[in-house]
Chains A and B, each alone.
Chain A
Amino acid sequence: MAVTVEQMAEEMYEMIKEAMGKKSFKATDLTKAMIAKYGEGEVSKDDCKHAIRILIDSGRCVYSYFGGSFITLPHKEGAANE
């Protein structure tokens, strides 16, 4: 494998951080980006799923919902009341 799952998690994290506030990514977007970068034979959808799981389970990223589920950095949501 050209890249480890942990490395992919880092790259996904950078993608999300970079685009925060401009564009939100779905799990499928992150998966497609990794496969496009490393090639279909090199990384599998399951690897990408694993990488996303690492980001979520560590708390570095969270799922958010606005008319569809996205993966974002933890943030205080707009609607929340103190």
Chain B
Amino acid sequence: MAAEPVKRITDIGPPHYEKFLHPMVKKNYGMWKYHESLAPGVLCHVAESGDKLFTVRAGSPRLLSTATIRMFADLAEKYCGGYLRFTSRNNVEFLLDNQANIEPLKKDLQAAGFPVGGTNNAISNIVHTQGWVHCHSSATDASGIVKCVMDALYDRFTHENLPAKLRIALACCLNMCGAVHCSDISILGVHRRPPQINKDLLPKVCEIPTLISSCPTGAIRSATYEGKPSVEVVEEQCMYCANCYTVCPAMPLNDPENDGISIWVGGKVSNARSAPKFSKLAIPFIPNEPPRWPGVVDAVVNIVEVYAKHAHKYERMGDWIERIGWPRFFELTGIPFTRYHIDDFRFAGTTFARSTHIRF
């Protein structure tokens, strides 16, 4: 090994957040009293001291060039002393102490193509993964679908006119880097065919025992190929999770005609009113349709609009469906109920109807 030229700095962790806090935030830290919504995307937090902090929230595509980040920095310097933050849903927030700067900032953001909104009963930004931009295991794209869905739901981002919050998330495969399994609407990339074993590559890049034990259904068995140890897949046992591909790159599941998208509904993470819950399957498969993804866009918009029309005030998607029942959900949305909607993995029975409580 070559000698290290200079002393390397390691293990310092992130900078301390206090360095980046607006003076008003620092002054009133832990002493906020209440907040109000002034308009979609505009919040006012009032401190015990009487100080008022204004937040202007704008949507972003998450994938940002340094040029755009610098443009946000310019706006922050122009209007709020350079103080800004990002939200857990990839929105950018400007923190202002001068109310008079709200409207000019909004104008500048809109002129730059960044919509202000995403608060309260608006649809916030879509949490999502990398997709074809950067992922090796994606069953679908991410950024492109998000772009098309948000184009269609743009007015729902800039207006707070839904019965409750509505949170959409997208993961381009079952690894779910975006952990979309508890969202009002989840868009999830799925494979539908077993891994195609690259038998020549396999012994060079994979450990067979590790590969066999990676399969949650025991569908991978040892086999020999040209006299060398290899594996085979019991295809009926495969549910296309792709865990084998993660531990062994010689087991790709990508298949342009059979990969696609599933839609799940009714999950949430907030404890408000009802307990957090998983999203449940609404649509098992929509083919990948780049570049504008019409099937997914129509499906999501349909679910959003049916929910907006029928849910009561404060009802999240899942609360609404529980009140009206799943049969009515399928009827109202026009989505066909199929054999794929009935669970057959572990704990499947917990989703069977175990009562005669049936609405006719």
Contact = CB atoms under 8 A, between A and B. Distances in A.
B1 A58 contact: yes
Given A58-B1, A59-B1, A67 B205 contact: no
B11 to A, nearest CB: 11
10 contacts: A23-B207, A23-B209, A24-B207, A59-B1, A66-B248, A67-B243, A67-B247, A67-B248, A68-B247, A78-B205
Interface string A17-57: 00000111000000000000000000000000000000000
Contacts of A78: 201, 204-205, 249
A67 B248 CA distance: 8
Interface of A: 22-24, 58-59, 66-68, 78-79
- The winner among A22, A23, A59, A66 for most chain B CB atoms within 10 A is A66
Interface of B: 1, 201, 204-205, 207, 209-210, 214, 243, 246-249
A17 B106 CA distance: 61
Nearest to B2: A59
Contacts, number: 24
Given A58-B1, A78-B204, A67 B246 contact: yes
B137 to A, nearest CB: 10
Contacts of A59: 1
Contacts of B243: 67
Contacts of B249: 66, 78-79
A30 to B, nearest CB: 16
B63 to A, nearest CB: 23
A27 B214 CA distance: 19
B206 to A, nearest CB: 8
Given A23-B210, A59-B1, A67-B210, 8 more contacts: A22-B207, A23-B207, A23-B209, A66-B246, A67-B214, A67-B246, A67-B247, A78-B249
A67 B247 CA distance: 5
- The winner among A24, A78, A79 for most chain B CB atoms within 10 A is A78
A24 B210 CA distance: 9
A78 B205 CA distance: 7
A26 B214 CA distance: 16
Nearest to A79: B249
B243 to A, nearest CB: 7
Contacts of B246: 66-67
Contacts of A68: 247
B208 to A, nearest CB: 9
B356 to A, nearest CB: 45
A66 B247 contact: yes
Contacts of B248: 66-67
Nearest to B136: A79
A22 B210 CA distance: 10
A58 B1 CA distance: 8
Closest 5 CB pairs of A and B: A67-B247, A67-B246, A59-B1, A78-B205, A66-B247
Nearest to B204: A78
B256 to A, nearest CB: 21
Contacts of B201: 78
Nearest to B206: A66
Nearest to A24: B207
Contacts of A66: 246-249
B229 to A, nearest CB: 10
A27 to B, nearest CB: 16
A79 B214 CA distance: 20
A79 B209 CA distance: 21
A35 B199 CA distance: 38
